């Protein structure tokens, strides 16, 4: 035998009755012992009857318990929505904080990166060089640098156009990123078509192996350059420097020595690596004492 569902009117009546009962009990509890004046009570006659019953029948302890129960009920009714509002606001604030942190990270990355090549820019390179120089001096470890320049890049632009030149720069930057795959290595754009690879904890031998790897990978990639006087593909000249930094030493010497090596590699015919062991001022008529290594397979 199925029961008939209650009508909405019946449910509403039950809820209204419950609400009135709760209000009556709360009002009576607050009216006990004169906490709420009689004239301010919601139901004066009912409150008076309940007070008489509480005075004649209930002990004072039970009256106090009833009062406390009313206070707890009132606090629960008030505090529960407030707690929900607080949690919702806290969640929104946390989401906003995460959004701002992600946006700040993007801005920091943009400020430290070259917009065209996606590698570090010169400012970021100089910042990291300062940190790595101090770390190498503290740990007594060598620090090495490659200074890399694309051979005859102006002729490349004149032959193929500047858009193709940008594509060439990106291709060389991709090769450098692939070659310098260790977590501590840094590839950066130094200026124009010049790029650098900074290698902590790397000796001169390790830096030379890195240079050879870059020459080999460029030859394998074979970016077309038919007008090049060096090869039929894009090539680079590389200057190498390696030092054991000292705490108060001049870190710019590492860059200057790599730049001297780059100059020597170009003077020796390009598409090769050169090392200038001792940095010194070179006069117009002087030739630096260098060790050069021509790239294989080109």
Would 256 be classed as within a structural domain? yes
Q: For residues 169 and 160, is the Cβ–Cβ distance under 8 A?
A: no
Look at residue 52 in the predicted model and tell me its pLDDT.
Answer: 58
Active-site residue, 193 included: yes
Would 204 be classed as within a structural domain? yes
Look at residue 11 in the predicted model and tell me its pLDDT.
Answer: 52
Task: State how far the Cα of 267 lies from the Cα of 288, in Å rounded to an integer.
Answer: 10
What CATH code is carried by the domain that includes residue 276?
3.30.70.270
| 191/247 same-domain check | yes
Look at residue 104 in the predicted model and tell me its pLDDT.
Answer: 76
Look at residue 284 in the predicted model and tell me its pLDDT.
Answer: 37
pTM strictly above 0.75:
no
Q: What is the mean pLDDT of each run of 10 residues along the chain (298 residues)?
A: 53 52 55 48 54 53 58 67 79 84 71 89 96 96 97 96 96 97 95 96 96 97 95 97 91 95 95 79 43 58
Sequence-ordered strand ranges (E) for the chain: 143-150, 186-191, 194-200, 236-243, 272-275, 291-294
**Domain span at residue 205?**
122-294
The residue from 139, 193, 205, 220 that is catalytic is 193
Number of domains the chain is built from: 2
């Amino acid at each position: 035998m199925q029961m008939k569902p209650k009508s909405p009117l019946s449910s509403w009546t039950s809820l209204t009755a419950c609400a009135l009962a709760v209000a009556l009990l709360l009002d009576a509890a607050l009216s006990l012992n004169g906490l709420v004046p009689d004239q301010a009570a919601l139901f004066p006659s009912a409150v008076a009857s309940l007070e008489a019953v509480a005075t004649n029948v209930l002990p004072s302890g039970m009256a106090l318990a009833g009062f406390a129960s009313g206070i707890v009920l009132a606090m629960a009714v008030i505090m529960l929505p407030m707690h929900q509002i607080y949690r919702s606001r806290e969640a929104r604030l946390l989401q906003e904080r995460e959004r701002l942190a992600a946006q700040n990270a993007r801005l920091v990355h943009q400020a430290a990166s070259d917009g065209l090549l996606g590698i570090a820019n010169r400012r970021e390179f100089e910042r990291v060089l300062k940190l790595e120089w101090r770390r190498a001096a503290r740990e007594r470890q060598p620090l090495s640098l490659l200074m890399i320049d694309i051979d005859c890049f102006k002729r490349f632009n004149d032959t193929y156009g500047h858009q193709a030149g940008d594509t060439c720069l990106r291709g060389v930057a991709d090769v450098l990123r692939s070659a310098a795959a260790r977590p501590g290595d840094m590839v950066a754009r130094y200026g124009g078509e010049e790029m650098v690879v900074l290698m902590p904890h790397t000796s001169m031998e390790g830096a030379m192996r890195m240079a050879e790897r870059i020459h080999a990978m460029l030859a394998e990639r074979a970016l077309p350059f038919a007008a090049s006087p060096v090869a039929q593909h894009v090539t680079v000249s590389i200057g190498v420097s390696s030092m054991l930094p000292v705490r108060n030493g001049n870190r710019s010497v590492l860059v200057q020595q790599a730049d001297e090596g780059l100059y020597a590699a170009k003077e020796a015919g390009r598409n090769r690596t050169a090392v200038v062991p001792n940095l010194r001022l070179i006069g117009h008529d002087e030739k630096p004492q260098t060790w050069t290594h021509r790239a294989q397979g080109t």
